[in-house]
Structure 1
Amino acid sequence: MSDDSIQDVLAQAACVASAQTPPKIRIRNLGKSFETRRGRFAALDAVSLDIPEGCFFMIVGPSGCGKTTLLRILGGLESESSGSVEIAHSGSGRPENSMVFQGDSLFPWMTVWQNAAYGLVMRGRPKTEIKETVGHYLSRIGLSRFADAFPHQLSGGMRQRVSIARAFANDPEILLMDEPFSALDEQNKLLLQEELLRIWDETRKTVLFITHSVDEAVTLGDRILVMSAHPGKVKMVVNVPFERPRHVLELRARPEYGALVYNIWDELRDEVRRARAQDEEGVRS
Protein backbone atom coordinates (compact mmCIF):
# COMPACT_ATOMS: atom_id res chain seq x y z
CA MET A 1 0.00 0.00 0.00
CA SER A 2 1.28 3.47 -0.88
CA ASP A 3 2.14 6.12 1.69
CA ASP A 4 -0.72 8.23 0.30
CA SER A 5 -3.21 5.42 0.95
CA ILE A 6 -1.99 5.01 4.52
CA GLN A 7 -2.32 8.76 5.07
CA ASP A 8 -5.90 8.58 3.74
CA VAL A 9 -6.72 5.93 6.35
CA LEU A 10 -5.16 8.02 9.12
CA ALA A 11 -7.09 11.07 7.97
CA GLN A 12 -10.33 9.10 8.17
CA ALA A 13 -9.40 7.88 11.64
CA ALA A 14 -8.78 11.41 12.87
CA CYS A 15 -12.30 12.49 11.99
CA VAL A 16 -15.35 11.15 13.81
CA ALA A 17 -18.46 11.63 11.73
CA SER A 18 -21.46 13.14 13.49
CA ALA A 19 -24.31 10.70 14.05
CA GLN A 20 -27.41 11.18 11.91
CA THR A 21 -29.64 9.83 14.69
CA PRO A 22 -29.74 10.60 18.42
CA PRO A 23 -27.02 8.70 20.30
CA LYS A 24 -27.76 5.53 22.21
CA ILE A 25 -25.65 6.87 25.09
CA ARG A 26 -25.17 10.56 25.83
CA ILE A 27 -22.62 11.48 28.50
CA ARG A 28 -22.25 15.10 29.56
CA ASN A 29 -19.60 16.56 31.91
CA LEU A 30 -19.41 13.32 33.85
CA GLY A 31 -17.34 13.43 37.02
CA LYS A 32 -16.66 10.88 39.73
CA SER A 33 -14.74 11.35 42.97
CA PHE A 34 -14.01 9.02 45.88
CA GLU A 35 -13.14 9.80 49.49
CA THR A 36 -9.86 8.16 50.49
CA ARG A 37 -7.58 8.32 53.52
CA ARG A 38 -5.50 10.91 51.67
CA GLY A 39 -8.50 13.02 50.77
CA ARG A 40 -10.77 13.29 47.79
CA PHE A 41 -9.63 11.40 44.68
CA ALA A 42 -11.01 12.46 41.28
CA ALA A 43 -11.38 9.42 39.01
CA LEU A 44 -13.24 11.11 36.15
CA ASP A 45 -13.46 14.76 35.18
CA ALA A 46 -15.82 16.40 32.66
CA VAL A 47 -16.21 13.39 30.36
CA SER A 48 -18.59 14.10 27.47
CA LEU A 49 -19.36 11.50 24.78
CA ASP A 50 -22.01 10.50 22.28
CA ILE A 51 -22.10 6.78 21.47
CA PRO A 52 -24.31 5.77 18.52
CA GLU A 53 -26.67 2.82 18.46
CA GLY A 54 -24.85 -0.32 17.35
CA CYS A 55 -21.37 1.12 17.83
CA PHE A 56 -18.52 -1.12 18.99
CA PHE A 57 -16.91 1.49 21.23
CA MET A 58 -13.45 0.82 22.65
CA ILE A 59 -11.90 2.56 25.66
CA VAL A 60 -8.13 2.69 26.18
CA GLY A 61 -6.08 4.60 28.71
CA PRO A 62 -3.39 4.21 31.35
CA SER A 63 -4.03 2.26 34.56
CA GLY A 64 -6.04 4.27 37.06
CA CYS A 65 -7.57 6.63 34.49
CA GLY A 66 -11.16 5.74 35.40
CA LYS A 67 -12.01 3.34 32.56
CA THR A 68 -13.68 0.78 34.81
CA THR A 69 -15.34 3.52 36.87
CA LEU A 70 -16.94 4.86 33.68
CA LEU A 71 -18.18 1.39 32.77
CA ARG A 72 -19.56 0.80 36.27
CA ILE A 73 -21.49 4.08 36.12
CA LEU A 74 -23.00 3.06 32.78
CA GLY A 75 -23.87 -0.33 34.26
CA GLY A 76 -25.59 1.22 37.29
CA LEU A 77 -23.00 -0.14 39.73
CA GLU A 78 -21.71 3.34 40.64
CA SER A 79 -23.35 6.74 40.75
CA GLU A 80 -21.80 9.81 39.19
CA SER A 81 -20.61 12.72 41.36
CA SER A 82 -21.48 15.28 38.69
CA GLY A 83 -22.76 15.48 35.15
CA SER A 84 -25.24 13.12 33.52
CA VAL A 85 -25.66 9.87 31.60
CA GLU A 86 -28.66 9.39 29.32
CA ILE A 87 -29.47 6.08 27.62
CA ALA A 88 -32.08 5.95 24.87
CA HIS A 89 -34.18 2.91 25.72
CA SER A 90 -35.81 0.92 22.94
CA GLY A 91 -38.98 0.21 24.93
CA SER A 92 -38.71 -3.46 23.97
CA GLY A 93 -38.55 -4.75 27.54
CA ARG A 94 -35.02 -6.05 27.03
CA PRO A 95 -32.52 -5.56 29.89
CA GLU A 96 -30.59 -2.30 29.72
CA ASN A 97 -27.17 -3.91 29.93
CA SER A 98 -25.14 -7.03 30.57
CA MET A 99 -21.54 -7.05 31.78
CA VAL A 100 -18.59 -9.31 30.99
CA PHE A 101 -15.84 -8.88 33.57
CA GLN A 102 -12.08 -9.37 33.47
CA GLY A 103 -12.15 -12.16 36.03
CA ASP A 104 -14.10 -15.38 36.18
CA SER A 105 -17.74 -14.44 36.79
CA LEU A 106 -19.49 -17.76 36.18
CA PHE A 107 -21.51 -19.42 38.94
CA PRO A 108 -19.37 -22.43 39.93
CA TRP A 109 -22.35 -24.52 41.03
CA MET A 110 -24.08 -24.15 37.65
CA THR A 111 -23.36 -26.00 34.42
CA VAL A 112 -22.34 -24.24 31.23
CA TRP A 113 -25.94 -24.39 30.03
CA GLN A 114 -27.34 -23.03 33.30
CA ASN A 115 -24.81 -20.19 33.34
CA ALA A 116 -25.60 -19.23 29.75
CA ALA A 117 -29.34 -19.37 30.46
CA TYR A 118 -29.19 -17.45 33.74
CA GLY A 119 -30.34 -14.05 32.50
CA LEU A 120 -33.20 -15.48 30.48
CA VAL A 121 -34.36 -17.64 33.39
CA MET A 122 -34.29 -14.66 35.76
CA ARG A 123 -36.39 -12.69 33.28
CA GLY A 124 -38.95 -15.50 33.14
CA ARG A 125 -38.60 -16.15 29.42
CA PRO A 126 -40.43 -19.18 27.95
CA LYS A 127 -38.57 -22.50 28.08
CA THR A 128 -38.70 -22.87 24.29
CA GLU A 129 -37.05 -19.47 23.86
CA ILE A 130 -34.37 -20.29 26.43
CA LYS A 131 -33.61 -23.64 24.76
CA GLU A 132 -33.35 -22.09 21.30
CA THR A 133 -31.34 -19.04 22.37
CA VAL A 134 -28.87 -20.80 24.65
CA GLY A 135 -28.41 -23.59 22.14
CA HIS A 136 -27.65 -21.04 19.42
CA TYR A 137 -24.99 -19.18 21.39
CA LEU A 138 -23.31 -22.29 22.78
CA SER A 139 -23.06 -23.52 19.22
CA ARG A 140 -21.63 -20.18 18.06
CA ILE A 141 -18.86 -20.34 20.68
CA GLY A 142 -18.18 -24.04 20.05
CA LEU A 143 -19.20 -25.32 23.49
CA SER A 144 -22.38 -27.29 22.75
CA ARG A 145 -20.78 -30.57 23.83
CA PHE A 146 -19.73 -28.98 27.13
CA ALA A 147 -23.27 -27.89 28.04
CA ASP A 148 -23.36 -30.17 31.11
CA ALA A 149 -19.82 -29.33 32.30
CA PHE A 150 -19.09 -27.14 35.31
CA PRO A 151 -16.78 -24.11 35.21
CA HIS A 152 -13.95 -25.87 37.07
CA GLN A 153 -13.82 -28.40 34.23
CA LEU A 154 -13.14 -25.69 31.63
CA SER A 155 -10.06 -23.72 30.65
CA GLY A 156 -9.91 -19.97 31.23
CA GLY A 157 -10.64 -19.25 27.59
CA MET A 158 -13.65 -21.57 27.60
CA ARG A 159 -15.04 -19.91 30.72
CA GLN A 160 -14.81 -16.49 29.06
CA ARG A 161 -16.60 -17.88 26.01
CA VAL A 162 -19.45 -18.94 28.31
CA SER A 163 -19.52 -15.44 29.82
CA ILE A 164 -19.83 -13.94 26.34
CA ALA A 165 -22.59 -16.41 25.40
CA ARG A 166 -24.48 -15.55 28.61
CA ALA A 167 -24.25 -11.82 27.88
CA PHE A 168 -25.48 -12.10 24.29
CA ALA A 169 -28.18 -14.64 25.17
CA ASN A 170 -29.69 -12.17 27.63
CA ASP A 171 -30.18 -9.79 24.66
CA PRO A 172 -29.27 -6.53 26.43
CA GLU A 173 -29.54 -3.15 24.77
CA ILE A 174 -25.91 -2.42 25.75
CA LEU A 175 -23.06 -4.86 26.33
CA LEU A 176 -20.34 -3.71 28.76
CA MET A 177 -17.02 -5.56 28.64
CA ASP A 178 -14.20 -4.85 31.11
CA GLU A 179 -10.94 -6.30 29.74
CA PRO A 180 -12.54 -9.72 29.21
CA PHE A 181 -9.51 -11.19 27.40
CA SER A 182 -6.66 -9.67 29.39
CA ALA A 183 -5.85 -12.83 31.40
CA LEU A 184 -5.70 -15.09 28.35
CA ASP A 185 -2.70 -16.22 26.32
CA GLU A 186 -2.26 -14.68 22.87
CA GLN A 187 -3.61 -17.69 20.96
CA ASN A 188 -6.84 -17.85 22.97
CA LYS A 189 -7.18 -14.07 22.79
CA LEU A 190 -7.03 -14.11 18.98
CA LEU A 191 -9.60 -16.92 18.78
CA LEU A 192 -11.97 -15.14 21.16
CA GLN A 193 -11.64 -11.86 19.26
CA GLU A 194 -12.66 -13.71 16.08
CA GLU A 195 -15.60 -15.36 17.84
CA LEU A 196 -16.73 -12.09 19.40
CA LEU A 197 -16.63 -10.34 16.03
CA ARG A 198 -18.69 -13.12 14.42
CA ILE A 199 -21.37 -13.00 17.14
CA TRP A 200 -21.44 -9.20 17.16
CA ASP A 201 -21.87 -9.12 13.37
CA GLU A 202 -25.16 -11.03 13.86
CA THR A 203 -26.58 -8.64 16.44
CA ARG A 204 -24.78 -5.27 16.00
CA LYS A 205 -25.35 -4.47 19.66
CA THR A 206 -24.02 -1.31 21.25
CA VAL A 207 -20.79 -2.45 22.96
CA LEU A 208 -18.45 -0.62 25.32
CA PHE A 209 -15.21 -2.54 25.67
CA ILE A 210 -12.27 -1.63 27.92
CA THR A 211 -8.80 -2.79 26.93
CA HIS A 212 -5.16 -1.94 27.59
CA SER A 213 -4.26 -3.19 24.12
CA VAL A 214 -4.26 -0.70 21.25
CA ASP A 215 -4.08 -3.69 18.87
CA GLU A 216 -7.29 -5.08 20.34
CA ALA A 217 -9.00 -1.68 20.21
CA VAL A 218 -8.27 -1.25 16.50
CA THR A 219 -9.12 -4.88 15.70
CA LEU A 220 -12.56 -4.82 17.31
CA GLY A 221 -13.74 -1.24 17.44
CA ASP A 222 -15.68 1.27 15.37
CA ARG A 223 -14.51 4.12 17.59
CA ILE A 224 -11.79 4.35 20.20
CA LEU A 225 -11.81 6.67 23.21
CA VAL A 226 -8.29 7.51 24.37
CA MET A 227 -8.39 8.67 28.00
CA SER A 228 -5.90 10.80 29.86
CA ALA A 229 -4.12 9.88 33.09
CA HIS A 230 -6.26 10.50 36.15
CA PRO A 231 -8.47 12.30 36.56
CA GLY A 232 -9.71 10.56 33.42
CA LYS A 233 -10.70 12.91 30.63
CA VAL A 234 -11.38 12.53 26.93
CA LYS A 235 -8.07 13.00 25.16
CA MET A 236 -9.33 12.01 21.73
CA VAL A 237 -11.89 9.83 19.95
CA VAL A 238 -10.63 7.94 16.91
CA ASN A 239 -12.78 6.58 14.12
CA VAL A 240 -11.65 3.12 12.94
CA PRO A 241 -12.10 3.16 9.15
CA PHE A 242 -11.73 -0.57 8.42
CA GLU A 243 -14.63 -2.37 6.80
CA ARG A 244 -16.64 -5.20 8.34
CA PRO A 245 -16.75 -8.13 8.61
CA ARG A 246 -13.18 -8.29 9.87
CA HIS A 247 -10.74 -11.17 10.12
CA VAL A 248 -8.19 -10.56 12.84
CA LEU A 249 -4.99 -11.85 11.23
CA GLU A 250 -5.83 -10.48 7.79
CA LEU A 251 -6.54 -7.05 9.25
CA ARG A 252 -3.32 -7.01 11.25
CA ALA A 253 -1.29 -7.78 8.14
CA ARG A 254 -2.38 -4.54 6.48
CA PRO A 255 0.12 -1.65 6.64
CA GLU A 256 -2.59 0.93 7.36
CA TYR A 257 -3.55 -1.11 10.43
CA GLY A 258 -0.02 -0.82 11.81
CA ALA A 259 0.04 2.90 11.04
CA LEU A 260 -3.20 3.49 12.94
CA VAL A 261 -2.02 1.44 15.94
CA TYR A 262 1.21 3.44 15.99
CA ASN A 263 -0.61 6.80 15.85
CA ILE A 264 -2.95 5.88 18.71
CA TRP A 265 -0.09 4.55 20.83
CA ASP A 266 1.85 7.75 20.12
CA GLU A 267 -1.05 9.71 21.67
CA LEU A 268 -1.42 7.28 24.57
CA ARG A 269 2.26 6.99 25.46
CA ASP A 270 2.51 10.39 27.17
CA GLU A 271 -0.54 9.59 29.29
CA VAL A 272 0.98 6.27 30.41
CA ARG A 273 4.17 8.06 31.39
CA ARG A 274 2.19 10.70 33.26
CA ALA A 275 0.24 7.99 35.12
CA ARG A 276 3.51 6.32 36.15
CA ALA A 277 4.87 9.62 37.40
CA GLN A 278 1.69 10.14 39.43
CA ASP A 279 2.05 6.67 40.94
CA GLU A 280 5.68 7.29 41.84
CA GLU A 281 4.80 10.63 43.41
CA GLY A 282 2.06 8.92 45.43
CA VAL A 283 4.54 6.37 46.78
CA ARG A 284 6.98 9.11 47.84
CA SER A 285 4.34 11.27 49.53
Structure 2
Amino acid sequence: MEERQVTVDEGRDVASTTGPAAAVSDKDPADVHISIRGLTKQFDVRGSTVTALDSLDLDIPRGQFLVIVGPSGCGKTTLLRMLAALESPTSGAVEVRHGGEGRPGNSMVFQGDSIFPWMSVWDNAAFGLTMRGVPRAEIRESVGHYLEKTGLSAFADAYPHQLSGGMRQRVSIARAFANDPDVLLMDEPFSALDEQNKTLLQAELLRIWDETRKTVVFITHSVDEAVTLADRIMVMSAQPGQAKAFVDVPFERPRDVLELRHLEEYGDIVYDIWQHLRDEVSRSQRQAAAAPATGRRRRR
Protein backbone atom coordinates (compact mmCIF):
# COMPACT_ATOMS: atom_id res chain seq x y z
CA MET A 1 0.00 0.00 0.00
CA GLU A 2 1.41 3.33 -1.11
CA GLU A 3 1.45 6.20 1.37
CA ARG A 4 1.79 9.91 0.71
CA GLN A 5 2.80 11.99 3.68
CA VAL A 6 3.41 15.71 3.92
CA THR A 7 4.96 16.80 7.21
CA VAL A 8 6.36 20.08 8.47
CA ASP A 9 7.33 19.88 12.12
CA GLU A 10 8.85 23.25 13.03
CA GLY A 11 9.72 21.99 16.48
CA ARG A 12 6.40 20.32 17.33
CA ASP A 13 5.88 16.66 18.11
CA VAL A 14 3.26 15.79 15.48
CA ALA A 15 2.75 12.24 16.75
CA SER A 16 1.70 13.50 20.18
CA THR A 17 -0.74 16.13 18.89
CA THR A 18 -4.33 15.46 19.87
CA GLY A 19 -7.59 17.17 18.99
CA PRO A 20 -11.32 16.68 19.61
CA ALA A 21 -12.03 13.08 20.54
CA ALA A 22 -14.45 12.59 17.64
CA ALA A 23 -11.80 13.67 15.14
CA VAL A 24 -9.46 10.76 15.81
CA SER A 25 -10.68 7.34 14.78
CA ASP A 26 -10.78 4.41 17.17
CA LYS A 27 -10.82 2.03 14.20
CA ASP A 28 -7.97 -0.25 13.20
CA PRO A 29 -5.29 2.03 11.69
CA ALA A 30 -5.51 -0.02 8.51
CA ASP A 31 -9.08 1.29 8.04
CA VAL A 32 -7.98 4.95 8.24
CA HIS A 33 -7.58 6.32 4.72
CA ILE A 34 -6.58 9.91 5.54
CA SER A 35 -4.84 10.90 8.76
CA ILE A 36 -4.29 14.56 9.67
CA ARG A 37 -2.33 15.65 12.73
CA GLY A 38 -1.63 19.17 13.96
CA LEU A 39 -2.35 20.66 10.54
CA THR A 40 -1.73 24.41 10.45
CA LYS A 41 -1.67 26.72 7.45
CA GLN A 42 -0.63 30.36 7.57
CA PHE A 43 -0.48 32.97 4.80
CA ASP A 44 1.46 36.20 4.62
CA VAL A 45 -0.98 38.95 3.64
CA ARG A 46 0.23 42.53 3.29
CA GLY A 47 2.92 42.13 5.90
CA SER A 48 0.79 40.26 8.46
CA THR A 49 0.30 36.57 9.14
CA VAL A 50 -3.17 35.07 8.66
CA THR A 51 -3.82 31.62 10.13
CA ALA A 52 -6.31 29.80 7.90
CA LEU A 53 -6.18 26.45 9.75
CA ASP A 54 -4.96 25.86 13.28
CA SER A 55 -3.79 22.50 14.69
CA LEU A 56 -6.42 20.35 12.98
CA ASP A 57 -6.57 16.64 13.85
CA LEU A 58 -8.74 14.34 11.76
CA ASP A 59 -9.03 10.69 10.72
CA ILE A 60 -11.13 9.76 7.69
CA PRO A 61 -11.90 6.04 7.37
CA ARG A 62 -11.67 4.37 3.97
CA GLY A 63 -14.95 4.64 2.06
CA GLN A 64 -16.42 7.40 4.21
CA PHE A 65 -18.37 10.30 2.70
CA LEU A 66 -17.21 13.23 4.84
CA VAL A 67 -18.85 16.63 4.35
CA ILE A 68 -17.29 19.81 5.75
CA VAL A 69 -19.38 22.86 6.59
CA GLY A 70 -18.32 26.14 8.13
CA PRO A 71 -18.51 29.91 7.71
CA SER A 72 -16.72 31.72 4.91
CA GLY A 73 -13.03 32.13 5.63
CA CYS A 74 -12.70 29.09 7.90
CA GLY A 75 -10.15 27.28 5.72
CA LYS A 76 -12.35 24.62 4.09
CA THR A 77 -10.90 25.03 0.61
CA THR A 78 -7.39 25.43 2.02
CA LEU A 79 -7.78 22.05 3.71
CA LEU A 80 -9.01 20.45 0.49
CA ARG A 81 -6.08 21.90 -1.45
CA MET A 82 -3.64 20.44 1.06
CA LEU A 83 -5.30 17.03 0.73
CA ALA A 84 -4.78 17.37 -3.03
CA ALA A 85 -1.13 18.41 -2.47
CA LEU A 86 -1.84 21.75 -4.16
CA GLU A 87 -0.80 23.60 -0.97
CA SER A 88 1.85 22.74 1.62
CA PRO A 89 1.15 22.93 5.35
CA THR A 90 2.95 25.42 7.53
CA SER A 91 3.18 22.70 10.17
CA GLY A 92 1.62 19.35 10.91
CA ALA A 93 1.11 16.23 8.83
CA VAL A 94 -1.24 14.90 6.15
CA GLU A 95 -0.99 11.19 5.42
CA VAL A 96 -3.05 9.56 2.65
CA ARG A 97 -2.77 5.78 2.49
CA HIS A 98 -3.34 4.93 -1.15
CA GLY A 99 -4.41 1.51 -2.35
CA GLY A 100 -4.43 0.18 -5.88
CA GLU A 101 -1.26 0.35 -7.94
CA GLY A 102 -1.50 2.71 -10.88
CA ARG A 103 -4.60 4.44 -9.52
CA PRO A 104 -4.38 8.25 -9.12
CA GLY A 105 -4.30 9.51 -5.56
CA ASN A 106 -7.22 11.90 -5.98
CA SER A 107 -9.51 13.68 -8.39
CA MET A 108 -10.91 17.10 -7.60
CA VAL A 109 -14.25 18.58 -8.66
CA PHE A 110 -14.22 22.36 -8.38
CA GLN A 111 -16.92 24.94 -7.86
CA GLY A 112 -18.22 26.13 -11.22
CA ASP A 113 -17.04 25.05 -14.66
CA SER A 114 -13.71 23.23 -14.73
CA ILE A 115 -13.96 21.26 -17.97
CA PHE A 116 -12.00 22.11 -21.11
CA PRO A 117 -14.13 24.18 -23.53
CA TRP A 118 -12.24 22.95 -26.61
CA MET A 119 -12.88 19.27 -25.81
CA SER A 120 -16.00 17.20 -26.37
CA VAL A 121 -17.89 15.69 -23.46
CA TRP A 122 -16.27 12.32 -24.19
CA ASP A 123 -12.74 13.73 -24.34
CA ASN A 124 -13.27 15.71 -21.14
CA ALA A 125 -14.47 12.61 -19.31
CA ALA A 126 -11.55 10.59 -20.70
CA PHE A 127 -8.91 13.21 -19.94
CA GLY A 128 -7.41 11.72 -16.77
CA LEU A 129 -7.33 8.20 -18.19
CA THR A 130 -5.75 9.43 -21.43
CA MET A 131 -3.04 11.33 -19.53
CA ARG A 132 -2.22 8.15 -17.60
CA GLY A 133 -1.87 6.14 -20.80
CA VAL A 134 -4.72 3.75 -19.97
CA PRO A 135 -5.50 1.35 -22.86
CA ARG A 136 -8.21 2.56 -25.23
CA ALA A 137 -10.54 -0.36 -24.51
CA GLU A 138 -10.44 0.41 -20.79
CA ILE A 139 -11.07 4.10 -21.50
CA ARG A 140 -14.09 3.26 -23.65
CA GLU A 141 -15.53 1.02 -20.96
CA SER A 142 -15.01 3.45 -18.06
CA VAL A 143 -16.03 6.65 -19.85
CA GLY A 144 -19.05 4.99 -21.46
CA HIS A 145 -20.15 3.67 -18.05
CA TYR A 146 -19.98 7.04 -16.28
CA LEU A 147 -21.50 9.03 -19.13
CA GLU A 148 -24.44 6.64 -18.94
CA LYS A 149 -24.59 7.00 -15.14
CA THR A 150 -24.67 10.81 -15.42
CA GLY A 151 -27.19 10.86 -18.28
CA LEU A 152 -24.70 12.17 -20.82
CA SER A 153 -24.40 9.30 -23.30
CA ALA A 154 -26.42 11.18 -25.92
CA PHE A 155 -24.14 14.22 -25.54
CA ALA A 156 -20.79 12.47 -25.88
CA ASP A 157 -19.87 14.49 -29.00
CA ALA A 158 -21.21 17.81 -27.69
CA TYR A 159 -19.00 20.67 -26.48
CA PRO A 160 -19.33 22.54 -23.17
CA HIS A 161 -20.85 25.67 -24.75
CA GLN A 162 -23.72 23.48 -25.97
CA LEU A 163 -24.55 22.26 -22.45
CA SER A 164 -26.37 23.74 -19.47
CA GLY A 165 -24.50 24.49 -16.25
CA GLY A 166 -25.91 21.38 -14.63
CA MET A 167 -24.79 19.20 -17.53
CA ARG A 168 -21.28 20.66 -17.41
CA GLN A 169 -21.06 19.70 -13.74
CA ARG A 170 -22.20 16.20 -14.69
CA VAL A 171 -19.22 16.06 -17.05
CA SER A 172 -16.93 17.04 -14.16
CA ILE A 173 -18.38 14.26 -12.01
CA ALA A 174 -18.12 11.69 -14.82
CA ARG A 175 -14.48 12.69 -15.40
CA ALA A 176 -13.65 12.39 -11.70
CA PHE A 177 -15.17 8.92 -11.28
CA ALA A 178 -13.94 7.62 -14.64
CA ASN A 179 -10.37 8.39 -13.58
CA ASP A 180 -10.90 5.91 -10.70
CA PRO A 181 -9.14 7.94 -7.99
CA ASP A 182 -8.49 6.66 -4.51
CA VAL A 183 -9.98 9.83 -2.98
CA LEU A 184 -12.58 12.19 -4.45
CA LEU A 185 -12.30 15.84 -3.37
CA MET A 186 -15.28 18.09 -4.11
CA ASP A 187 -15.28 21.85 -3.51
CA GLU A 188 -18.87 23.16 -3.52
CA PRO A 189 -19.53 21.51 -6.90
CA PHE A 190 -23.27 22.33 -6.97
CA SER A 191 -23.29 25.80 -5.43
CA ALA A 192 -23.85 27.68 -8.70
CA LEU A 193 -26.82 25.55 -9.76
CA ASP A 194 -30.53 26.15 -9.33
CA GLU A 195 -32.33 24.06 -6.71
CA GLN A 196 -33.83 21.60 -9.19
CA ASN A 197 -30.49 20.79 -10.85
CA LYS A 198 -28.78 20.65 -7.48
CA THR A 199 -31.24 18.05 -6.21
CA LEU A 200 -30.89 15.95 -9.37
CA LEU A 201 -27.10 16.01 -9.19
CA GLN A 202 -27.09 15.14 -5.49
CA ALA A 203 -29.17 12.07 -6.34
CA GLU A 204 -26.85 11.12 -9.20
CA LEU A 205 -23.77 11.57 -7.04
CA LEU A 206 -25.26 9.35 -4.32
CA ARG A 207 -26.17 6.68 -6.86
CA ILE A 208 -22.65 6.60 -8.30
CA TRP A 209 -21.05 6.71 -4.86
CA ASP A 210 -23.19 3.78 -3.69
CA GLU A 211 -21.65 1.80 -6.53
CA THR A 212 -18.01 2.77 -5.88
CA ARG A 213 -17.88 3.61 -2.14
CA LYS A 214 -14.87 5.86 -2.64
CA THR A 215 -13.53 8.04 0.14
CA VAL A 216 -15.06 11.48 -0.45
CA VAL A 217 -14.27 14.84 1.15
CA PHE A 218 -17.00 17.29 0.12
CA ILE A 219 -17.24 21.00 0.96
CA THR A 220 -20.54 22.84 1.02
CA HIS A 221 -22.21 25.88 2.57
CA SER A 222 -25.58 24.09 2.44
CA VAL A 223 -26.53 22.28 5.63
CA ASP A 224 -29.32 20.45 3.78
CA GLU A 225 -26.84 19.20 1.20
CA ALA A 226 -24.45 18.07 3.94
CA VAL A 227 -27.11 16.00 5.71
CA THR A 228 -28.36 14.55 2.42
CA LEU A 229 -24.94 13.29 1.31
CA ALA A 230 -22.77 12.62 4.35
CA ASP A 231 -21.87 9.71 6.56
CA ARG A 232 -20.27 12.25 8.88
CA ILE A 233 -20.22 16.05 8.97
CA MET A 234 -17.37 18.16 10.32
CA VAL A 235 -18.45 21.62 11.47
CA MET A 236 -15.59 24.09 11.39
CA SER A 237 -15.09 27.21 13.47
CA ALA A 238 -14.57 30.69 12.09
CA GLN A 239 -10.98 31.66 11.25
CA PRO A 240 -8.63 30.23 12.30
CA GLY A 241 -10.33 27.03 11.17
CA GLN A 242 -10.60 24.23 13.70
CA ALA A 243 -12.94 21.25 14.09
CA LYS A 244 -15.77 22.51 16.30
CA ALA A 245 -18.08 19.49 16.13
CA PHE A 246 -18.70 16.18 14.35
CA VAL A 247 -22.18 14.97 13.51
CA ASP A 248 -22.86 11.37 12.41
CA VAL A 249 -25.66 10.99 9.87
CA PRO A 250 -27.56 7.76 10.69
CA PHE A 251 -29.69 7.35 7.56
CA GLU A 252 -29.33 4.07 5.69
CA ARG A 253 -28.07 3.84 2.14
CA PRO A 254 -29.08 3.97 -0.63
CA ARG A 255 -30.89 7.24 0.06
CA ASP A 256 -33.78 8.88 -1.74
CA VAL A 257 -32.96 12.60 -1.69
CA LEU A 258 -36.58 13.77 -1.62
CA GLU A 259 -37.95 11.14 0.77
CA LEU A 260 -35.08 11.77 3.17
CA ARG A 261 -36.21 15.36 3.72
CA HIS A 262 -39.62 14.22 4.93
CA LEU A 263 -38.08 12.48 7.95
CA GLU A 264 -38.40 14.18 11.32
CA GLU A 265 -34.88 13.11 12.24
CA TYR A 266 -33.58 14.90 9.12
CA GLY A 267 -34.91 18.21 10.45
CA ASP A 268 -33.45 17.49 13.88
CA ILE A 269 -29.96 16.97 12.42
CA VAL A 270 -30.18 20.12 10.29
CA TYR A 271 -31.20 22.07 13.40
CA ASP A 272 -28.33 20.57 15.42
CA ILE A 273 -25.76 21.59 12.82
CA TRP A 274 -27.16 25.12 12.62
CA GLN A 275 -26.86 25.38 16.39
CA HIS A 276 -23.15 24.60 16.04
CA LEU A 277 -22.76 27.01 13.12
CA ARG A 278 -24.71 30.02 14.39
CA ASP A 279 -22.04 31.59 16.60
CA GLU A 280 -19.28 30.79 14.11
CA VAL A 281 -21.12 32.49 11.25
CA SER A 282 -21.66 35.57 13.41
CA ARG A 283 -17.98 35.60 14.37
CA SER A 284 -16.98 35.23 10.70
CA GLN A 285 -19.19 38.21 9.77
CA ARG A 286 -17.53 40.33 12.44
CA GLN A 287 -14.13 39.31 11.08
CA ALA A 288 -15.20 40.22 7.54
CA ALA A 289 -16.43 43.63 8.70
CA ALA A 290 -13.06 44.29 10.33
CA ALA A 291 -11.04 43.05 7.35
CA PRO A 292 -10.62 46.42 5.53
CA ALA A 293 -9.05 47.93 8.65
CA THR A 294 -6.60 45.06 9.08
CA GLY A 295 -5.88 44.46 5.42
CA ARG A 296 -6.88 40.83 5.72
CA ARG A 297 -8.34 38.85 2.86
CA ARG A 298 -10.76 36.03 3.35
CA ARG A 299 -9.82 32.39 2.90
CA ARG A 300 -12.50 29.77 2.39
Provide TM-score, normalisation by structure 2: 0.88
Aligned partner letter, 2:256: H
- Cα distance in structure 1, aligned partners of 2:190 and 2:230: 15
Alignment partner, residue 155 of structure 2 = 146
- Cα distance in structure 2, aligned partners of 1:18 and 1:189: 35
Q: CA deviation at 1:92?
A: 2.1
Per-residue CA deviation, residues 101-154 of structure 1 (Å, 9 max, x unaligned), is: 002100000000000000000010111100111000000011101000000000
Q: CA deviation at 1:89?
A: 1.5
Count of equivalent residues: 272
Unaligned stretches of 5+ residues in structure 1: 1-13
Per-residue CA deviation, residues 237-276 of structure 1 (Å, 9 max, x unaligned), is: 1111111000101001000000000011111111000000
Unaligned stretches of 5+ residues in structure 2: 1-20, 295-300
Give 3-state SS (helix, strand or coil) of 1:105's partner. Answer: coil
- Cα distance in structure 2, aligned partners of 1:213 and 1:142: 25
Alignment partner, residue 18 of structure 1 = 26
Q: CA deviation at 1:280?
A: 1.0
Aligned partner letter, 1:221: A
What is the correspondence of 1:1-285 to structure 2 with a 5 Å cutoff?
18-20=26-28, 21-285=30-294
Aligned partner letter, 1:135: G
- Cα distance in structure 1, aligned partners of 2:204 and 2:101: 27
- Cα distance in structure 1, aligned partners of 2:274 and 2:155: 39
Aligned partner letter, 1:216: E
Identity of aligned residues (%): 68
Per-residue CA deviation, residues 38-94 of structure 1 (Å, 9 max, x unaligned), is: 501100000000000000000000000000000000001000000000011114220
Task: Return 82-91 or 216-225, whichever deviates more.
Answer: 82-91
Give 3-state SS (helix, strand or coil) of 1:148's partner. Answer: coil
Aligned partner letter, 2:76: K
- Cα distance in structure 2, aligned partners of 1:47 and 1:58: 16
CA RMSD of superposed structures (Å):
1.4
- Cα distance in structure 1, aligned partners of 2:285 and 2:50: 16
Q: CA deviation at 1:22?
A: 3.5
- Cα distance in structure 2, aligned partners of 1:160 and 1:33: 31
